[in-house]
Each structure stands twice: as structure tokens, then as C-alpha cells.
Amino acid sequence: MAVGKEIRTKIASIKNTQKITRAMEMVAASKMRKTKDRMQATRPYSIKIGKIIKHLAQANPEYKHPYLIVRDVKRVGIILVSSDRGLCGGLNSNLFRKTLSQLIEWDKANVAVDVCTIGSKASGFFSNLKVNLVGQVSKLGDAPRLQDIAGVIKIMLDAYEAGSIDELYVVSNEFVNTMTQRPIIEQLLPVVACELDETLNGHWDYIYEPDAKDVLDHLLNRFIESKVYQGLVENNACEQSARMVAMKSASDNAGNLISELQLIYNKARQAAITQEISEIVAGAAAV
């Protein structure tokens, strides 16, 4: 029967799409668990290093590190963390929208911007814009290593030390829960002074080996790296959960569409049958 052939092919194609989105949803769900674990695994390091920096701020180092000194802002650097792949709802576009509004604000204040991007979506986004892209790294996979992003961080730190940028920010998604991800812009440099720990009062200082400058240099470098790394790992968890949610709603939508089309198809089929019968009856009556 020739009735509703278009509708049937349409239904078949939507069913195929639904199979794909459902598979992607399940893959994202299992990856999300792993990336969330990874995100939690990075927490102890950043907590510890934060504590040591707090201790250092309380000790009395005779040497003031440039990362701790606030300067007039003429040029800022941002490290933008995005995902490598799409199909994850509004995750990246929300991030880029937030970045853009911040860029416009800086533009109004006559502050120039240098950008480093992590993830191919961000570099794709910025290659269409007229910004100064100084570093880029992508295709890090689900288990990124710290040394993968050390390059872009070094570019920014060198620029900061050379005085060509006066502030450094990292832009990434914060994992609130599976349903919610929030784009945030966090200041890395100069390191914001943190509140003091009451348990360590009095006049004291560390024994520095080999010397304060060396150790502080190293420590602050690692601090910045761990911050960016955490942003990256957190963004990964966001990506997977956003994808899971997006794919789930896509599968649901496909299901709705199929049932609607099925209804239309059934009605058309029934109408065709009714018409045929009435034609036969009318023909018989005429004889």
C-alpha cells in the first residue's frame, strides 16, 4: 500500500537517530562517573598547596615574589578551557558568552587581552574573533595529564614575568551537579591573599632549602598549574554530564516525535482504507 511511505521512512530515520543519541547518553553517563572521580582526586593537591601558600604568607619570607604583587592593569591574559567535542548542550556556548561579555568589558576599559585556549572548541571560537591568540592545546582526551597543559601555562607565566600581562584569569565550567554547570572566571595572578590560619601564630619562618626565592618560585608555579589543571578536569566532568543530559533530552524528543508521526500515519492509513471501502460499496450499489 502506497499510503504514508514518506511518514514511514521518516519514522525509521528518527528511530535510527534515537539509537545513536541513546548510545551516546549511556557512554557519557559512564564517562561522567570516571571524570567525576578524577575531579575529586585532584582536590587534595589543591587543598594542600593552598594551605602551604597560606602558611608561607604567614611566615616572614624576606623575599617578595612578583606573583604576589598587584600591578596596574594594561593587559590581561586568559586561559580558556573548553571541551574538544560538541553535542553537549549549551556548555561551550554559555562559556563563550560569558567570556565575550568580559572581553567587551575589558575592551571598554582599554585593557588588551592575550588568550590561550585549551580544547578545540575554544580555538575554533577564537579563530573567528580578532583576539591575540598566543597559545593553544587540544585533543587531551578524558584523562589529561598535567604536562599536557604545562606549555600554555608557561607562555602565560613568562608573559606575566616579562610584564607584558598584568593579570591572569582562567575561564572554565564549574561542576555544580549533574544538571547544572556554571561558567566561571577565576583570577590566578596576582595570587589573591587568603585569610590567615589562627593555629600558627607568632614569629616564625621556614628553613628554606635551597633558598626562599627558589622554593617560592617553584611552589607558586605549581599552584597556578594545579588551578588550571583542576579547571580542566572539572570542565571534563561538566562536558560529560552536559552531554548526558543533552542526549537524554534528545532521545526523549525523538520518542515524542515518533509517537506523533505514528499517530498521523495510522490516521492516514485508516482514512485510505475507509475511502477504499466506500468506493467499493458505491461501485457495488451502482451495478
Query: What residue ranges bind another protein (CB under 8 A)?
Result: 38, 41-42, 44-45, 48-49, 51-52, 55-56, 59, 116-117, 123, 126-127, 133-138, 145-147, 150-152, 154-155, 158, 200, 204-210, 214-215, 218-219, 222, 225-226, 229
- Closest approach of Cβ 219 to another protein, in Å? 6
> For residue 155, what is the enclosing H or E element?
helix 146-162
- Closest approach of Cβ 254 to another protein, in Å? 33
- Closest approach of Cβ 143 to another protein, in Å? 9
Asked if residues 238 and 28 have their Cβ atoms less than 8 Å apart, the reply is no
By beta-carbon proximity to another protein, the closer residue of 18 and 236 is: 236
- Closest approach of Cβ 152 to another protein, in Å? 5
By beta-carbon proximity to another protein, the closer residue of 158 and 279 is: 158
- Closest approach of Cβ 191 to another protein, in Å? 16
By beta-carbon proximity to another protein, the closer residue of 117 and 173 is: 117
By beta-carbon proximity to another protein, the closer residue of 72 and 209 is: 209
Strand, helix or coil for residue 15 = helix
d(CA 145, CA 143): 6
Q: Around Cβ 198, how many Cβ atoms within 10 Å?
A: 6
Asked if residues 235 and 83 have their Cβ atoms less than 8 Å apart, the reply is yes
d(CA 45, CA 49): 6
By beta-carbon proximity to another protein, the closer residue of 7 and 146 is: 146
Asked if residues 89 and 52 have their Cβ atoms less than 8 Å apart, the reply is no
Residue 74 DSSP label: S
CA 225 to chain centre: 17
- Closest approach of Cβ 164 to another protein, in Å? 14
Phi, psi angles (nearest 5°) of residue 121: -65, -40
By beta-carbon proximity to another protein, the closer residue of 59 and 257 is: 59
